[in-house]
Amino acid sequence: MKTEKNYDFIRRREIIHRPRRRDFVRHPGTTEIELDSSWRITVPANAVDCILRAARDFQDYLFTSMDISVIIEKTKKNVSTLPDKTVLFAWDKTITKGFVIEVSSGGISLRAGTIRGILQSSIYLEDMMNLANAPFVITGTHRITPRLVCREVHSGRGIDDFPDSELNLILHAGYDTIVVFVKGIDLTSRGYCDLNSLIERAAAYGLDTALYNYMEAYKHPDDPDAEAFYDDVFGEFFRHVHGVKYFSLCGESLEFPSHDPATTGKPFSQSITDGIPDPRPSPGWYPCEDYPRYLRLIEQVIHRAAPDVQLSFSSYNWGYAPFELRKKFLAVYPEHYVLRMPFENFKMIKRNGLSCPIMDYTISQPEPGYYFESEAEEAHRHGIPLEVISNTAGATWDFGTIPYVPAPYLWIRRLRALNFALEKWKVNRYYETHHYGWQPNVVTELCKRYFVNPQNNDLEDLLDKLAVVDYGREAAPYILKTWQLWSDAMEHYVASNEDQYGPWRVGPAYPFIFQPNITRTMGGKEIRFPTSSHAHFGYRIIKTLYQPYENENQSPGPMRYPVELKELAMMLAIWNDGLKTAETAISVTPRAKRDNAKRLAALGRFIRNSIITVIHIKEWWLANVALLGTPERQPALHHLDKLEKIASAEIDNARDTIPAVECDSRLGWEPSMEYVCDKWHLEWKIRQVKSMLTEIETYRKIIKL
């Protein structure tokens, strides 16, 4: 396996059909038929574009993945009976959602009445063959009606980057809606973008388009010129951009000058008077009593220009608020908005009697907490349509620069908990990844089959089959054991703000800053993390001076850290057991699939070393605090010895991570930050720690004065 360079993973993403997936030892079972080169694909003489696209895609799949060459032919007239050994695509306007596949010993017919249904039907055939590891299809009638209204996903190759190859990959992964950040007319986070062209290209792949708002509208809805002001922002946008299915709003990216006295009435960055911070929340982080009027006026100007756009609003930013306050907001919630909520955020975890709530997206807690359950129950009672931030593309803020969290048994629990919410409160719209994007992985495969086909409920059995598909029969038991151990390890994960905005987000390239300030310029100790100038967020979402970010619902850091260190030690031990098993699997994985096993082991090593970094940084902070509070020389020198030992171990940890990121260039990268833990950044981290060690030596001299 050759060493990868930065962005090589994008080339792998562009491969829709993996080569050599066929197991030639297998023979069809009694309920299966086998396709071979004597078959043909047939389309109507006047076939619409989506049928031709589906037929060509399926032809390529058979050739590339199953070593079968078949022709595509057009019928000269309507076909009343299915010819032998024919895969027939047909438009059926009576099927308004999903598709129907009829499989007999003589042939296969695929019918749907939508572009999405036609395209998904052939992908469903591909998925059946992939699970069979052969061109075998189960006979009978397969009527597939997806569980969900929509499955939204950001690009996985770069923020707001949607070439046709990405659209095709998204379609094959089972998603139905792309998400684009918009800052203005034809303006996304990447700069200029012909939005109408993108929307049309996505539609050709059966994909809807959702726009995530970053346009500002800082005007109170009661101001006399508010409607005209909002119309200049949102109305003008939708008079230019057409075909948008969903438009999403979020408090933190849509602040306004609220009159609610419980808030500052100012943006969070300006909530300061004469240098004194205002302790009240800013309007984007609080269910202001006038926020519903704000949303209604925005809806009014948008629907005047584009009546069919479906609006949604995320209450994510005030999930911490008491239920009674949230109830008041929901009681007057605008009727034309979907309500979007995170699933696990704000869930309270008790460790040794301490409060350790979930601060941001994580799979370590696969079931929801009180915030989601209470919000969903109350909103459902008011008839408000609901959407969940599910993160079911497999990525979270658990580890900010990895393709997915390889803990599928926890994801299975998440899927079942989500299905409970679907049945109880009709939570049938999923925002499946934030700007950290997605990568094809075992979690996306589980989700696709679960959401597209409601009959797929035996997820453990499905996971067993997926292990065979990607790693082979001999390696599958090792892979399943690895996944079980890593799922167990994740239950000891620590989801605090300082960790998820620091070492968990960056990985082993996270810097270690010596907190005593030896300075002639009186500068601060926080350093700017080096990121690309074109990155959407870049260094702005990385906090380098590690310290507890306290929260009114959370026990203080100095009390939490000793308990969290014990949890992380258990996490590390279990993770290491899984990593050893993953490394063992490499030697028994078939050559054609061995790169999959090597990348899984590299992912495991990257995460293992991230755990080590988080352990080290907590020990580092405790030792720095102890040093700053020590008035005597010998204890202070002892703390310096401890800091030097931690620093040396962390240099070794960074070096040990380099082979992992060279094995898989997706490691260390995130769409909105770009690379923050590639080889260059790991070497930068080593230089930073060595430079910091000179500060420690200087401080040692100061102590001895």
pLDDT tens digits, residue range 59-68? Answer: 999 999 999 9
Residue 163 in tokens = 């070439």
Nearest to 1 by CA among 441, 586, 579: 586
Burial class of 671 by CB neighbour count within 10 A (0 to 12, 13 to 18, 19+) = buried
Residues 6+ apart with CB under 8 A from 213: 182, 247, 248, 249, 250, 253, 254
Is the predicted pLDDT of residue 402 greater than 60, yes or no?
Answer: yes
Is the predicted pLDDT of residue 78 greater than 70, yes or no?
Answer: no
User: CB of 235 within 8 A of CB of 301?
Assistant: yes
What mean pLDDT is predicted for residues 404-432?
A: 97
Cα separation, 150 vs 246, whole angstroms? 10
> Confidence class of residue 51 from pLDDT cuts 50, 70 and 90?
very high
What mean pLDDT is predicted for residues 384-388?
A: 98
Residue 528 in tokens = 């700017």
Which run of H or of E encompasses 181?
strand 177-184
Residue 546 in tokens = 């590690």
What mean pLDDT is predicted for residues 459-485?
A: 96
pLDDT, tens digit (0-9, with 9 covering 90-100), for 555-589 = 999 999 999 999 999 999 999 999 999 999 999 99
Cα separation, 442 vs 463, whole angstroms? 8
From the CB of residue 509, how many other CB atoms can be counted at a distance below 10 Å? 28
Q: What Å distances lie between residue 434 and 156, 502, 510, 671, 672, CA to CA? A: 10, 18, 22, 10, 10
Residues 6+ apart with CB under 8 A from 253: 213, 214, 284
Residue 59 in tokens = 């032809």
Nearest to 672 by CA among 11, 247, 189: 189
Task: Please report where in the chains the tokens 């979907």 appear, as a residue.
Answer: 338
Look at residue 675 and give its three-state secondary structure.
strand
Residue 576 in tokens = 């290491």
Residue 35 is predicted with a pLDDT of 96
Residue 80 is predicted with a pLDDT of 52
From the CB of residue 594, how many other CB atoms can be counted at a distance below 10 Å? 18
Residue 401 is predicted with a pLDDT of 97
Cα separation, 128 vs 652, whole angstroms? 45
466 vs 19, residue with greater confidence = 466
Residue 77 is predicted with a pLDDT of 62
Residue 602 is predicted with a pLDDT of 98
Residue 238 in tokens = 């939708």
pLDDT, tens digit (0-9, with 9 covering 90-100), for 650-702 = 999 999 999 999 999 999 999 999 999 999 999 999 999 999 999 999 999 99
The β-bridge relationship of strands 246-250 and 337-342 is: unpaired
Is the predicted pLDDT of residue 268 greater than 90, yes or no?
Answer: no
Cα separation, 505 vs 498, whole angstroms? 10
What mean pLDDT is predicted for residues 485-512?
A: 97
* Average pLDDT across the chain, whole number: 95
Residues 6+ apart with CB under 8 A from 594: 1, 586
Residue 143 is predicted with a pLDDT of 93
Look at residue 680 and give its three-state secondary structure.
helix
Residue 310 is predicted with a pLDDT of 98
Residue 453 is predicted with a pLDDT of 72
| Beta-bridge partners for 40 | 71, 86
Task: Say which DSSP state 231 is in.
Answer: I
User: CB of 186 within 8 A of CB of 193?
Assistant: yes
Look at residue 242 and give its three-state secondary structure.
coil
The β-bridge relationship of strands 150-153 and 427-431 is: parallel
**Domains of the chain by start residue, with CATH:** 14-144 (3.30.379.10), 150-457 (3.20.20.60), 497-703 (no CATH)
Percent of the chain with pLDDT over 70: 99
| Beta-bridge partners for 675 | 669
> Confidence class of residue 542 from pLDDT cuts 50, 70 and 90?
very high
pLDDT-wise least confident of 172-176, 348-352, 520-524:
520-524
What mean pLDDT is predicted for residues 385-404?
A: 97
User: CB of 55 within 8 A of CB of 41?
Assistant: yes
Task: Please report where in the chains the tokens 């039907």 appear, as a residue.
Answer: 121
Residue 598 in tokens = 């090597």
Look at residue 266 and give its three-state secondary structure.
coil
Which run of H or of E encompasses 250?
strand 246-250
